Every structure is written in structure tokens, then in C-alpha cells.
Structure 1
Amino acid sequence: MKKYILSFVFVSFVLFNLGCKKSPTEIDKPPIIITPPSLELSVDGVSCTEAWIKVKKLNDTTFLPISVKINEKEFFHGFLAATDTVLFVDSLAPSTTYTVKGIILDTLQTAKELKVTTLPTT
């Protein structure tokens, strides 16, 4: 009987020891990287006196307050709600190069400038 009790204690001790040696592992979560919102400008079309400027927001899902300037004169001031939008610019002079700049108003971050040249008249 003593032999069975010692065997039971020994087996219980071994199983208990093996079961408690392993610590629970946590799932490795990737770090959360917060990237600030940014703008992307591109030319969607151009004619002699008109231009279509595509404004696209990156890394943002909310209303983004922006300002778009053409030759340092404010052309658009408001909120960009959709992922992208096209701004129609009219009353431009033919064969002229304009500088378009997009600014995020919260951070005053400027998107890269864009040069737009209108077509010549024939």
C-alpha cells in the first residue's frame, strides 16, 4: 500500500511540475503605427482655359480640412470627405503655367506642388 501511495505522489508531483512549467504565451500583436494624413495632387485634365485637379487624401477616414492654392491665391477652402475629388478650375490663361499647392489645415502640412500648364490656342 505504501508503494502505491508513493507512486501516486511521485506521478502527481511530476505531472503537476510539467503542467506548471509552461507559462501562457501572449499573442504578438503588431505595433500600432499612426501615420498622419497626407494629400496627393494630380492633373486629371487640362484645356486652353480650364484644368481638372484631382485631390486625394491618404491615411485618413474622416473629414479632412484642406486648402488648395493656385499661384499662392486660395482657390478652395473646405473639408474633403470622400477619398478623392476633382476640382474644376476655369478662367485660366492659355499657354500659362500655374503652381497648385494643397495644404492640410490641421497640421499645415503641404502636399507636393504641382505644375499645370494650359494648352495654347490654335
Structure 2
Amino acid sequence: MTRLINVTIDRPLGYQNEYGTVYPINYGYVKNIIAGDGKEQDAYIISRNVQTPIESFDGVLIAIVKRHDDVETKWVISSPGEIYTTEEIYDQIKFIEQHFDSSVYLVD
């Protein structure tokens, strides 16, 4: 049985941060899961089923992004049944991850 993870979106698709970066995907956090930075776990939403800004998302963990030069890891959440390669995932998240020494690890 696949456990769905709820992500609260605080940077929806199209969001622009203080550095001028526009988010091409939805991005948020998982409540009550504390990450390495002491804040709630961050998550990228990658799904062919979601191409608009959203407020929340229920999906499955498909990958973990390990930042080798930072205390944070990021989760990658997708719709159940969708399959992506590490390269496809990185292409979606490189708008932020290009600034870090990070690796994408698929989750079974």
C-alpha cells in the first residue's frame, strides 16, 4: 500500500522569489516532518497531472535530493504511478538546485 504525503504549497508554480527566480513547479513543505535545517521538510511537486498553481498536493515520495554543501535535503513528490529518471527530476528542479552541489536519489 502506498502512503500518500500531503504537501502544503507555499511557493506555487509562477511564484517569484526575492532573487527574481520564477518557480516552474509547485513547491512546499510537509507538516510535522522536521528537516535538517530545523524547519518542516521541503518538497518539490513534479507531476504531469499538475500544470497550474495549487495550494496543496497529495502524492508519493519518488526521490530525495541530497545537498552535499548544505544541511537540507528536499523531497520530490509526484502523483502515484508516475515514473521519472533522475535526469528528468533534475531538469525540473535545477532552477534552484543549480546553486548547490546536489544529487537526486530515486526512492523505490
When you count helix as a share of all residues, which structure comes out higher? 1
Answer whether TM exceeds 0.5 for this pair.
Answer: no
Given the two structures, how large is their TM-score scaled by the length of structure 1? 0.23
TM-score of the two chains, using structure 2 as the length reference? 0.25
Q: Which has the larger radius of gyration?
A: 1
